[in-house]
Amino acid sequence: MFDWGELFSMHGLVLLTAQAHFSSLKPPVCNVFKKDSHCEKLSGNQEAFLYVSLFLLARGSAGFKASLPSHGADQFDERDPKEARHLSTYFNVLLFALCIGGIVSLILNVGIQFRRGWAWSFGASTIEILLSTLIFALALPLYRIHDAQRTNAIIEIIQVQPLHTLQ
Residue 120 CB burial class (10 angstroms; 0-12, 13-18, ≥19): middle
**pTM for this entry:** 0.72
The domain tally of the chain equals 1
Please report whether residue 64 resides in a domain.
Answer: yes
Work out the mean pLDDT of the chain and round it to a whole number. Answer: 83
Tens digit of pLDDT for each residue in 123-164?
A: 998 998 889 888 888 888 888 776 666 677 677 777 777 776
User: For 77-106, what is the mean pLDDT?
Assistant: 88
| Res. 3: pLDDT tops 70 | no
Residue 16 CB: number of other CB atoms within 10 A? 25
Q: Range of 107's domain?
A: 4-27+42-146
DSSP 8-class letter at 141:
G
Please report whether residue 17 resides in a domain.
Answer: yes
Please report whether residue 132 resides in a domain.
Answer: yes
Residues 6+ apart with CB under 8 A from 122: 13, 16, 17, 20
Please report whether residue 155 resides in a domain.
Answer: no
Residues 6+ apart with CB under 8 A from 24: none
Please report whether residue 153 resides in a domain.
Answer: no
Please report whether residue 101 resides in a domain.
Answer: yes
